[in-house]
Amino acid sequence: MARMRSVDAAVLILEKEGATQAFGLPGAAINPFYSALRAHGGIRHVLARHVEAASHMAEGYTRAEAGNIGVCIGTSGPAGTDMITGLYSASADSIPILCITGQAPVDKLHKEDFQAVDIASIAQPVTKWAATILEPAQVPGAFQKAFWLMREGRPGPVLIDLPIDVQLAEIDFDIDTYEPLAVQRREATRPQIEKALDMLIAAERPIIVAGGGVINADAAELLVEFAEILGVPVVPTLMGWGIISDDHPLLAGMVGIQTSHRYGNATMLASDFVLGIGNRWANRHTGSLDVYTRGRSFVHVDVEPTQLGRVIAPDYGIASDAKAALELFVAVAQERALAGRLPDWSEWAGQCRARRSTMLRRTDYDDVPIKPQRVYQEMNKAFGPEVRYVSTIGLSQIQAAQMLHVYKPRHWINAGQAGPLGWTVPASLGVATADPESIVVALSGDYDFQFLIEELAVGAQFKIPYIHVLVNNAYLGLIRQAQRSFDMDYYVQLSFENINTPEIGAYGVDHVKVVEGLGCKAIRVTDPDELLAAFEEAKRLLAVHEVPVVVEVILERITNVSMGTAIDNVIEFDETVDLSADGTVEAEAGSFESVYALME
């Protein structure tokens, strides 16, 4: 047993629990904690420029590798309130991050002291646990509980708030005998798996919907093995993209009203049974629930019991960790395969593959200004199967999900439910910190890029290289498209004539100058035939300078992206490529009126 400050105990616990990386900003009320970080030296730290950005960095870090838990640190008052968006994003997508804030002294908490705010109450709805620790001797237990909660059941974030006098107080603590609390895995039973498999086997056209919970459970290989034993097509959700490689014969494509493939929606509509594992039936995946569920049965497996029936009332539900369930699914399916008790779904799987080759959206445009579809075509050529993509929201993210290719789990990293603007830059820095060996490629529109653009200086200062593809149309493009239903184009234009750079016309902000001013490298592309060379040059600059490299692509101002309100009502606003034997190209003309028909 040793006598030490409570913050020394906290940092030693972080190290013992496996934390290795923190992102944050020092401040008066959290300086004791920083002094403990400095004294013990086992946790690396990146200095962010904004505390919200630090929370997104921690989130990107956690998302990048199984087992990582990113840590975000800030001082009292606004530092904690700045973290709320990061906590919301992490909570919504079941991502564990630990946020630590400083606080006013305990005896000042009720006296409206400088930067004293009840951050625990503010953070409670977007965390698994948020607490202000009032007794120094409770600090070790609070950190032990935090790591247990972040890992137990449905993962998620925790906030611990430490008054400065609690940080400085001395306690008795023995790190040598400290052990993390055991996490009990929720496990499906064999009878449950048998019943679910019986229901699947009774179907003629089954599919498996694989969600982010499969990635969180590190169970992607098991899911692919299960699908291969059965020969059943797989639909990854946006959060599950990469569980099954985009070139796998059983990939059925993504389903939904925005981030989806035409062939994925067609396969879902043709199916008669859906086994969902680790997914939450998000509304962008389902669209109209009546259309999505009509004519098919559902089995849902999720680690959180209250998720079962939250959106869709399944015909059968199983509360289980995805990996535990898939271990049993594989075992039972193998037994039945060896006994010759599995149907042959090869014809059904073949139909799904046929849709993948005949229902592709066109990408080979030569227009100037550049059409966004061409950007994603050239990104697929330039970056290959090992790249890690990071994106968050907007037309850029929607079209990227429609047209990019992802081949591995954790290689599409996306703020799926919250979609906070500004997330992409800091999250990419977190991903690149977690995996410095891979090429990390971020994608965002100009508005998302401008929200937390100052964080590029963090990449320059700490040598965190990644490539940021900035598609610039000087518009809030997704909101512009949505405003058409109100017959308006109202405060969504970012265009203006920049008096300092008239050569860029009405595209307003000179991102190249801003990026270079922040210590990074930038390339501007205006011709589609120069895209591939620009991406190759970005990779070269990345290796030479080890700083973020931004490739700004000047897009056409208005592009209507394929979307709708139901999976049978996604309106295509571009030509659709038919790669059938005669090579014909089918043109589909869409109208915004039909997109919103179901809302009237």
- Domain limit, last residue, from 338, 356, 374: 356
CA angle at 567 for the pair 565 and 569, rounded to the nearest 5°? 60
Query: What is the rounded CA–CA span in Å between residue 534 and residue 554?
Result: 13
Q: What is the DSSP letter of 455?
A: G
- Strand-pair category, 297-302 with 360-361: unpaired
- Same domain assignment for residues 79 and 30: yes
- Same domain assignment for residues 372 and 321: no
The helices-and-strands tally (H runs, E runs) of the chain is 24, 24
Query: What is the rounded CA–CA span in Å between residue 46 and residue 55?
Result: 11
Query: What is the rounded CA–CA span in Å between residue 595 and residue 587?
Result: 17
Q: Does the residue 559 lie in any domain?
A: no
* SS3 labels along 160-214: EEEEHHHHHCEEEECHHHCCCCCCCCCCCCHHHHHHHHHHHHCCCCEEEEECHHH
Structure tokens at 594: 């039909």
Q: Strand pairing partners for 275?
A: 208, 299
- Same domain assignment for residues 157 and 215: no
Q: What is the CATH number of the domain that holds 312?
A: 3.40.50.1220
- Same domain assignment for residues 147 and 62: yes
Q: Does the residue 222 lie in any domain?
A: yes
Query: What is the rounded CA–CA span in Å between residue 250 and residue 247?
Result: 9
Q: What is the CATH number of the domain that holds 392?
A: 3.40.50.970
- Same domain assignment for residues 281 and 415: no
Query: What is the rounded CA–CA span in Å between residue 252 and residue 234?
Result: 5
Q: Does the residue 578 lie in any domain?
A: no
- Same domain assignment for residues 372 and 506: yes
Range of the domain at 292: 190-356
Q: Does the residue 37 lie in any domain?
A: yes
pLDDT computed for residue 110 by the predictor: 83
pLDDT computed for residue 488 by the predictor: 87
Angle between helices 139-151 and 6-16 (to 10 degrees): 30
Query: How many residues belong to the chain?
Result: 600
Q: How far is CA 225 from CA 52, 121, 174, 240, in A?
A: 39, 44, 45, 16
- Same domain assignment for residues 376 and 349: no
- Strand-pair category, 2-5 with 170-173: antiparallel
C-alpha radius of gyration, the chain, whole number = 25
- Same domain assignment for residues 67 and 103: yes
Which run of H or of E encompasses 388?
Answer: strand 388-391
Query: What is the rounded CA–CA span in Å between residue 529 and residue 367?
Result: 10
Q: Does the residue 588 lie in any domain?
A: no
- Domain limit, last residue, from 177, 203, 229: 177
Which run of H or of E encompasses 61?
Answer: helix 51-64
pLDDT computed for residue 574 by the predictor: 62
Q: Does the residue 463 lie in any domain?
A: yes
- Same domain assignment for residues 162 and 133: yes
Query: In this structure, are residues 575 and 362 in contact, taking their beta carbons and an 8 Å threshold?
Result: yes
Q: Does the residue 280 lie in any domain?
A: yes
- Same domain assignment for residues 431 and 534: yes
**Residue 263, phi then psi, degrees to nearest 5:** -70, -30
Query: In this structure, are residues 480 and 515 in contact, taking their beta carbons and an 8 Å threshold?
Result: no
Q: Does the residue 571 lie in any domain?
A: no
- Same domain assignment for residues 327 and 253: yes
Q: How far is CA 65 from CA 58, 225, 408, in A?
A: 12, 21, 12
pLDDT along the chain (600 residues), means of 10: 95 97 97 97 96 98 91 96 97 96 90 84 98 98 98 96 97 96 95 98 97 96 98 97 97 95 95 97 94 96 95 97 98 96 95 91 91 96 95 90 96 91 97 95 95 97 98 86 86 88 87 97 97 98 97 91 91 57 36 32
- Domain limit, last residue, from 302, 323, 356: 356
- Same domain assignment for residues 351 and 283: yes
Question: Looking at the 3D structure of the chain, how many domains does it have?
Answer: 3
Task: Please give the single-letter amino acid code of residue 204.
Answer: E
Query: What is the rounded CA–CA span in Å between residue 330 and residue 328?
Result: 5
Contacts of 177 (CB under 8 A, 6+ apart): none
